[in-house]
Structure formats: C-alpha cells, structure tokens
Structure 1
Amino acid sequence: MSPRKDVVQSYIDGFRRTDHELILSCLTDDVVWVLHGYKTLAGKDAFDQEIQNDAFVGRPKLTIDRLVEEGDTVVALGSGQAARRDGGTLDFVFSDAFTFSGDKISRLETYQVNLG
C-alpha cells in the first residue's frame, strides 16, 4: 500500500477506536472538512469536536471496501454502522475524498448516505 493510503487507514482506525490523537496526527493544522449537505469545518480544533457526535454512543463499525489513489488524493469507499444514543442503529455508506499536503490530510470531503 502507498504511504498516503497508509495514512487514510490510520485515520479510519482512529475513528474505529475513537482515538482523537491518532486521527489528529493525520491532519494538517489548517485542515478543512466538508461534510456535504451538513457543514464545513476548518482547523484541527473544529475537526476534533466533530469526531464524536452526541447523538451516538460507543465506537462506529467502519468497513473500507476500496481505496483509490490519484495524484495527491485518496478516495475511500465504504460502509458503517453507529449506535444511536436513543436506541437503534444508523447504517450508512460513504465516500471520503482525502486531499494531501505532503504526508498529511489537508482537506476531507465526506459524502454519506444514511440507509433505512
């Protein structure tokens, strides 16, 4: 696997473990996270606050089906499941486009479709 795909794998593993430090270590200080249809965040502090959502409990289950790399971008295609605080689960599919500056993620665009 390429070094940038390794960074994306580490980033996803950080979410699987709710490991803020690991996730943030993959990012530039001025990272931008575009959650299409929801909001845009700028900087590590804003990113850090979005890692855990109050509507959910526990750790999400995330599966990466494919990583595609071209130039300074790696795209992760996958699916996930998260336990809702009020009961039940959220099943979803996603596509994350990670743009790199050097060996760190400088921009992330998340496309997520909630199922059911």
Structure 2
Amino acid sequence: MSENKKIVEKYMDGFNKSDHEQILSCLTEDVEWILPGVFHLSGKDEFDKAIENEAFVGRPAIAVTRMVEEENTVVAEGTVRVKKPDNGFVNMVFCDVFVMKNGLINKLTSYLMEMK
C-alpha cells in the first residue's frame, strides 16, 4: 500500500474512533474540506470543529470499499452509518477525493448520499 493510501486509511480510522488528534495529524495546516453545496472549510481549526456536530451522536461506522490512487490524489468510496440524536440511524454512501501534499491531506472533497 502506498504512503498516501496509508495516510487516508489512518484518517478514516481516526474518524471511526472520533480521535481528533489522529485525524488532524493527517492534514496540512491549510487543509480544505469541501462538501459541495453544503460547506467549504479552510484550515485545521475549522476542520477540527466539523469532525463532530449536533446532527449526529457518537462515533460513525465507516467502511471503505475501494481506494484508488493516481499521482497525488486518492479516492476512497464506501459506507458510513451514524446515529441521530433521536436514536435513529442514517446510512450513507460516500466518495471522498483526497489531494495530497508532502504526504498529508491538503484538500478533501466529500460526496455523500443518504441510502433510503
């Protein structure tokens, strides 16, 4: 497995554990996180605040089903299950596009869709 894929794997593992320090260690200081049509965050501080939010409780369950890499870009797709405050669950599929810089995640574009 390439070093870039290992960083993405470590990042995903950090989300599964809600480990902010592990997640942030995978990012450049000027990281961007884009969820098209929803938000565009810049910098580690903003990223850290968005790791957990009031829409969901507890830890997500993320399963990566495929990861591909070309040059400085890693694409990961998979599923995520999160618990809502009303004790219900949301199941989603995702495709995350990671642009790497100096061995860290510099830009993340996340495409999410709820499974019905």
TM-score by shorter chain over 0.5: yes
- The answer (yes or no) to whether the contact 1:10–1:22 under 8 Å persists in 2 is yes
Task: Note the 1:1-116 alignment, pairs <5 A.
Answer: 1-116=1-116
- In 2, the alpha carbon distance for the partners of 1:80 and 1:65 equals 11
Identical positions, percent: 47
Report the CA distance between 1:54 and its aligned residue.
1.0
What's the C-alpha RMSD, in Å, of the aligned pairs? Answer: 0.6
**Secondary structure of residue in 1 paired with 2:24:** helix
Report the CA distance between 1:37 and its aligned residue.
2.1
Report the CA distance between 1:83 and its aligned residue.
0.4
Number of positions where the alignment pairs a residue of Structure 1 with one of Structure 2: 116
Task: Kindly provide the CA deviation profile for residues 2-53 of structure 1, in whole angstroms up to 9, marking residues without a partner as x.
Answer: 0000000000000000000000000000000001121100000000000001
**Secondary structure of residue in 1 paired with 2:61:** strand
- In 2, the alpha carbon distance for the partners of 1:35 and 1:73 equals 17
**Secondary structure of residue in 1 paired with 2:67:** strand
Poorly superposed stretches of 4+, deviation over 6 Å:
none
Report the CA distance between 1:102 and its aligned residue.
1.0
Report the CA distance between 1:87 and its aligned residue.
2.1
**Secondary structure of residue in 2 paired with 1:48:** helix
- Is the deviation greater in 14-23 or in 80-89? 80-89
Unaligned runs of 5+ in 2: none
- In 1, the alpha carbon distance for the partners of 2:70 and 2:38 equals 26
Task: Kindly provide the CA deviation profile for residues 37-89 of structure 1, in whole angstroms up to 9, marking residues without a partner as x.
Answer: 21100000000000001121111111000000001000001001000012210
User: What amino acid is aligned across from residue 37 of structure 1 in structure 2?
Assistant: G
- Is the deviation greater in 53-62 or in 91-100? 53-62
